[in-house]
């Protein structure tokens, strides 16, 4: 049976994890069985903070490449493993360092804010990093009046509605969140008039404007615990529902769109986590010259939050 098989794999993972002095971090979109064997489950900001403070020698990152790269940027003396080497983020690949250098030349007065969903090379070209949990605070903390925001044009647009600066938005977007439509939200608002509507700031502006809140995945977990929330329409990736339901079994969570699946987040399985621990691969290591420059942007962000 699958459950027995998972239990057997989970036991092997836990004992090998201790032997390897490893910590397992999982993003909120990971498969339920992967979340269950993790030491920490969280959003991008929480996981990078945990990686930065961890005493473990090995980090098994159950997420996508930019998350493992961020852990490598923050912890160069740790081995960072991504159990499926091909797990990437299409949005992160929508900006390159070369294009960024060109944009910076065009706008020399502007400060460059990069969303953490970006490659290490793009972080190295940026002044400060942000996540969906702190993007507004990061933008507010800057003295410059002009901001180049890369690569998510929707998160950038959301920040521009909260912070009075001139924003130059990159043309990137998340192919998963863009599938959530205003019609989905309107239909669910009619069907569940009592429900709070919470969406991720990677959603389109027309979707965000219909929601009660736009929050990071970690913010959604905290919001769901509030006493005044009994039903919640969840405008983000499907994996989020597992943790919300597990932590709040008496509440009702309704996925905004069945189309909101990130295929890359689903590539990591228990078998692959075990294989990573056995072979100590695939490793993600950011080359030193890029790492040092990228770390300036990530450290600057961690000072703001
Ligand atoms: P969070 O930092 O809110 O978890 O978002 C990460 C992500 O990739 C959203 O698509
Ligand atoms: Fe990237 Fe979107 Fe997947 Fe998040 S959900 S990892 S932004 S493709």
Give the model's pLDDT for residue 1.
60
What CA–CA distance (Å, rounded) separates 195 from 233? 6
Quote the tokens at residue 46. Answer: 């929480």
Say whether both 149 and 192 belong to one domain: no
Say whether both 102 and 168 belong to one domain: yes
Task: Please identify, among 173, 190, 223, the residue that sits at the C-terminal boundary of a domain.
Answer: 173
Q: Is 64 in the pocket of ligand 2 (CB under 6 A)?
A: yes
Q: Is residue 294 part of a domain?
A: no
Considering every ligand atom shown, identify the ligand nearest to the alpha carbon of residue 216 and give its number.
1
Say whether both 121 and 67 belong to one domain: no
Task: Please identify, among 173, 202, 225, the residue that sits at the C-terminal boundary of a domain.
Answer: 173
Range of the structural domain that residue 200 is part of: 177-261
Give the model's pLDDT for residue 300.
97
Say whether both 167 and 220 belong to one domain: no
Q: Which atom of ligand 1 is nearest to the CA of 28?
A: 4
Q: Give how many domains the chain has, as a whole number.
A: 3
What CA–CA distance (Å, rounded) separates 111 from 92? 19
Task: Please identify, among 173, 201, 220, the residue that sits at the C-terminal boundary of a domain.
Answer: 173
Say whether both 79 and 10 belong to one domain: yes
Q: Which atom of ligand 2 is nearest to the CA of 177?
A: 2
Considering every ligand atom shown, identify the ligand nearest to the alpha carbon of residue 87 and give its number.
2
Say whether both 44 and 75 belong to one domain: yes
Helix axes 240-247, 217-224, angle to 10 degrees: 20
Give the model's pLDDT for residue 5.
86
Give the model's pLDDT for residue 4.
75
Nearest CA to ligand 2 atom 5: 262
Q: Is residue 271 part of a domain?
A: yes
Say whether both 19 and 42 belong to one domain: yes
Give the model's pLDDT for residue 3.
63
| CATH code at position 155 | 3.40.50.10800
Helix (H, G, I), strand (E, B) or coil at 139: helix
What CA–CA distance (Å, rounded) separates 182 from 195? 16
Query: Residue 237's closest CA among 72, 7, 44, 49?
Result: 44
Give the model's pLDDT for residue 305.
84
Considering every ligand atom shown, identify the ligand nearest to the alpha carbon of residue 261 and give its number.
2
Q: Which atom of ligand 2 is nearest to the CA of 237?
A: 5
Q: Give the mutation target among 45, 177, 204 for probing the ligand 2 site: most ligand atoms within 8 A of CB.
A: 177
Mean pLDDT in each 10-residue stretch from start to end of the chain (305 residues)?
Answer: 81 97 98 98 96 96 98 96 98 98 98 98 98 98 97 98 98 98 98 98 98 98 98 98 98 98 98 98 98 98 93
Q: Provide φ and ψ at 230, rounded to 5°.
A: -110, -30
Q: Is the distance from CB of 9 to CB of 274 less than 8 angstroms?
A: yes
């Amino acid at each position: 049976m699958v459950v027995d098989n998972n239990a057997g794999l989970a036991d092997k993972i836990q004992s090998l994890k201790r032997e390897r002095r490893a910590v397992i971090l999982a993003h909120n979109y990971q498969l339920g069985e992967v979340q269950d064997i993790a030491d920490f489950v969280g959003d991008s900001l929480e996981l990078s903070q945990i990686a930065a403070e961890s005493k473990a020698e090995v980090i098994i990152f159950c997420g996508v490449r930019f998350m493992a790269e961020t852990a490598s940027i923050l912890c160069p003396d740790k081995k960072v493993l991504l159990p499926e080497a091909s797990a990437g983020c299409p949005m992160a690949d929508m900006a390159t360092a070369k294009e960024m250098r060109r944009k910076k030349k065009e706008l020399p007065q502007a400060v460059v804010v990069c969303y953490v969903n970006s490659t290490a090379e793009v972080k190295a070209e940026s002044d400060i990093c942000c996540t969906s949990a702190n993007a507004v605070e990061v933008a507010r903390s800057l003295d410059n009046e002009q901001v180049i925001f890369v690569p998510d044009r929707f998160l950038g647009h959301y920040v521009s509605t909260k912070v009075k600066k001139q924003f130059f938005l990159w043309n990137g977007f998340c192919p998963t969140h863009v599938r959530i439509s205003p019609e989905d939200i309107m239909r669910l608002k009619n069907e569940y008039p009592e429900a709070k509507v919470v969406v991720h700031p990677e959603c389109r502006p027309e979707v965000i404007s219909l929601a009660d809140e736009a929050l990071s995945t970690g913010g959604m977990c905290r919001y769901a615990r509030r006493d005044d929330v009994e039903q919640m329409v969840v405008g983000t990736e499907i994996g989020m529902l597992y943790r919300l339901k597990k932590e709040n079994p008496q509440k009702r969570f309704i996925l905004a769109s069945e189309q909101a699946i990130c295929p890359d987040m689903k590539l990591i399985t228990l078998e692959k986590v075990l294989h990573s621990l056995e072979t100590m691969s695939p490793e993600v290591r950011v080359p030193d010259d890029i790492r040092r420059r990228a770390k300036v942007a990530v450290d600057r962000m961690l000072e703001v939050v």
